[in-house]
Amino acid sequence: MIPCYAIMPASVCPHDCPSCCSLIVTVEDGRLTSVTGNPAHPFTQGVICGKVREYAERVHSPLRVLTPLRRVGPKGRGEFARITWDDAIGEIARRWRAVIAEHGAEALLPFSYAGSMGQVQYYAGHPLFHALGASRLERSICVSTAYAGWRATVGVVTGNDSEQMVGADLVVLWGVNAAYSTVNVMTLVKQARARGAYVVVVDPYRTPTAQQADEHLMVRPGSDTALALAVMHVLVAEGRLDRDYIGRATLGFERLVEHLPAYSPDAVAASVGLPAETIVRFARRYGAGPRSFIRIGIGLSRHDNGGMTCRTLACLPALTGAYADPHGGALLSSGEAPGFDFSVLERPDLLPRPAPRVVNMIQLGRALTDPALAPPVKALYVYSSNPAAVCPNQTLVLEGLAREDLFTVVHEQVLTDTAHYADLVLPATTSMEHEDLYRSYGQFTLQLALPVLPPPGEALSNWEVCARLAKALGVAEAHYATSVDALIREFLSRGAATARTISYEQLRRDGWARLDLPRPYMPFAHGAPTPSGRVEFYSETMARQGLPALPTYVPLTEGPERQDLLRRFPLQCIVPPNRFFLNSSFSQSALLRRRQKTPTVMLAVADAAARGIGDGDPVRVESARGAARFTAQVTDATRPGVVVVEGVWWHRFHPGGRSVNVLTDDRVTDMGGGPAFHSNLVEVSRV
């Protein structure tokens, strides 16, 4: 029986994951005691991951920041003394005014991302920093490359509903380890298999998702575009096409046909790392009919050529007519399906003219250390992110954060690696302690989460802190005078027709509502919202940007083709999520760290033998940027020449005090300004 002092309200997982799971939580005597999936939600169906099931540990973590803190020791040491909110707000306002007076407002830099996917908290700082005239942050660390590539083909970031894969003949999970990163997709995959679907996983190593598939295509990292083009080659050569769909809904097919001879299976087999006959067999299976569904992961876009990869994959369903089949099509993300007007939350009208400069978040290390940057970044405000752990070229990032002349404020739930470098740390609420609206990028419902716990100590939400700062600085005060529920109401009312039918009252009553979309949802059944109104095999927009107008395989900047680098760094290294650390948010958990055991690097048997490395040995992984220590996991789950480092551990929990992002580079991808996290050449040696 449930004790009389227990309540079981609904909530929403706030983390950066496509599922956006609906939760049932148990609160007893003011403490969160359990978190489970909500079986009533139509998409998540009561299934949640082990990370969120243990969420009570995060909410009541001994690392929680409960009061404002001021640094009293060296940067990076994490030594603080308690201060009041009035002292903190007053000091920030005073220091920022001094920075603006001496260097100009662009010397202020906000840094945030998806520590909370709630829309109010995600965008809470935008109006404040716009009104101040601070440098703008290009929030490119996750989806920008993938979305740019997808839009180049179909114009908008949406796709056929994943639920429609139940009934497909073929399900392809391309570059997505759904068992780790979007567990609800695996529910649908199992249902599809029960109805006869054949499941193929395309991934550079044998993930738990691949282990559950009928077939695993272990491609070389960054070669997905070449594989997709070879599939197109076979479809065209063997006439496995939907001519009616191509004729009425696509642009540039004839040019594509002329382009494809260079991508025969024989021609690309070495680059892809698969036998030509395997590629042909896969292409024939895909071209057997339109009832094929491709679920695409964001991770495969984190290569130098990642935008083109997503553009190319978006073309495949147009050749077979799968976009127009009730159980076919493809989905990269559902993110733009609601058609929201984000100006309600972002308030670009508060920006000065001309607009301030833009700093790409993946190049934070450069921004903090480049002596030629004018004006220099003198004040950094971090919320909903942990750049000391998640940014590439980590050595440079930590060097910048250690600057004594950089005034850094971190608004955070727990004492992260970044918080250890802060001059002031401000206590933040979790999603269990504030109200917010959630949209998903893997399904088609909107959800509202109300607070189920009071904020611990003196914790405030992103919105509340920005409101206090706006008042202290005398900017954007009218915006922050709006209540959170009123802001959500306005945001809903300004959406496209798909969202305008959903009211705040409905969400408060039911917890969620599906967007007003047809079932089945086939947004590209009759074309696409591109400049031509069609799915574009040939893109004039791409050509004007100086990019290939047709899907084209471009080798990696740092990959097997770089013979000069291979002599020193002969192994490709990818850095996907691990089971318990989907992102760095979960690395704070002692329980999850025990389950994950230790930071590991997966090596093929032959690569380990050639280096005298045994399973469980301590090893050093080195790239051109730096080196970190791991434990070797010798396995046949990865191919020779490819090593895999799963997950982002915080530096202070990582052997040697440096984590995986000391290996990764901060160069941008082909489109969207995103990071090439998975395009790294390394060497591994026994310690």
Three-state SS string over 556-591 comes to: CCCCCCCHHHHCCCCEEEECCCCCCCCCHHHHHCHH
Alpha-carbon distances, residue 631 vs 191, 283, 325, 598, 659 (angstroms) = 37, 38, 47, 7, 12
> Which of 264, 190, 196 lies closest to 227 in space, CA to CA?
264
Give the integer Cα–Cα distance in Å for 588 and 252: 50
> 420 is written with which tokens?
């250890």
pTM of the full structure: 0.96
Q: What are the DSSP calls for 508-572, one per residue?
A: HHHSEEE-S--SS--TTTT--SSTTSSEESS-HHHHHTTS-SS------TTSTT-HHHHTT--EE
Axis-axis angle for helices 306-320, 224-237 (nearest 10): 20
Is residue 13 within 8 A of residue 441, CB to CB? The reply is no
Average pLDDT of 529-547?
97
Q: Tell me the pLDDT tens digit for each residue of 375-418.
A: 999 999 999 999 999 999 999 999 999 999 999 999 999 999 99
Give the integer Cα–Cα distance in Å for 226 and 497: 38
pLDDT at 181: 86
Confidence of residue 497 (pLDDT cuts 50, 70, 90): confident
Q: Tell me the pLDDT tens digit for each residue of 147-182.
A: 999 999 999 999 999 999 999 999 999 999 999 888
Q: Tell me the pLDDT tens digit for each residue of 4-43.
A: 456 777 899 999 899 999 999 999 999 999 999 999 999 9
Residue 582 pLDDT > 70: no
What is the third-level CATH fold of 563-686?
Barwin-like endoglucanases (2.40.40)
Is residue 665 within 8 A of residue 558, CB to CB? The reply is yes
Give the integer Cα–Cα distance in Å for 294 and 173: 6
Say which residue the tokens 């955070």 belong to: 412
pLDDT at 1: 39
Residues 6+ apart with CB under 8 A from 624: 565, 568, 569, 665, 681
**pLDDT > 70 in the chain, percent:** 99
Alpha-carbon distances, residue 419 vs 134, 287, 383, 505, 662 (angstroms) = 21, 52, 10, 38, 18
Residue 134 pLDDT > 60: yes
- Which residue ranges make up each domain of the chain? 69-135+356-446+459-502, 145-335+527-544, 563-686
Q: Does the CA dihedral 54-59-62-65 come out positive or negative?
A: positive
What is the third-level CATH fold of 69-135+356-446+459-502?
Rossmann fold (3.40.50)
Higher pLDDT, 572 or 52: 572
Residue 555 pLDDT > 70: yes
Residue 571 pLDDT > 50: yes
Residue 208 pLDDT > 80: yes
CATH of 145-335+527-544, one of 3.20.20.70, 3.30.230.10, 1.10.3720.10, 3.40.228.10: 3.40.228.10
